[in-house]
Amino acid sequence: MPSSPREQILTRQDAAVRVALLADLQTELEKLGRRCVLARTRRLVLRASPAMYEPSGPTNPQLHILTDQGSRVVTTDGAVYHLPGGQPCPADDPAAAAHVVGRDLLASAAARPGVSP
């Protein structure tokens, strides 16, 4: 088995809630001209005996914000968005979170001459 840390398996309902929240944020970011990709992830464990391995299932979805500097990742726990700078933002206000992300991307680009956000 791999030694890397494993993502927590989510219930289908919890995964669906997180995907919906990230889709709301994606819509708001796209209104601001940001390109984003929403990625659903699953852990698949192939096993001979169920007792030997952890279960398969959906893991934490991610919203990838595409910039000239690469991709920035946003996740959510259902209550808050975890933004690229590490700061939390309430998940009940995707428009505010989108503005925080946009501001942070502009600040990051300003710190790197010749790079656009």
Burial class (CB in 10 A: 0-12, 13-18, 19+), 68: exposed
CA within 13 Å, CB half, 34? 31
How many independent structural domains does the chain possess?
A: 1
Convert the pLDDT of each residue in 43-71 to its tens digit.
877 766 666 667 789 999 999 999 888 89
Tokens 């001979």 -> residue? 48
Residue 98 maps to a domain = yes
Residue 76 maps to a domain = yes
With a CB cutoff of 8 Å and minimum separation 6, the contacts of 27 are 94
| Whether the predicted pLDDT of 111 surpasses 70 | no
Residue 85 maps to a domain = yes
Which is more confident, 102 or 116?
102
For residue 27, give Cα distances in angstroms to 34, 45, 95, 105. 9, 33, 9, 17
List the domain range (segments joined by +) for residue 83. 12-110
- Section 17-27 average pLDDT: 98
Convert the pLDDT of each residue in 79-107 to its tens digit.
999 998 888 999 999 999 999 998 888 77
Residue 33 maps to a domain = yes
Residue 115 maps to a domain = no
Q: What global pTM score does this model have?
A: 0.83
DSSP code, position 49: -
Residue 116 maps to a domain = no
Residue 54 maps to a domain = yes
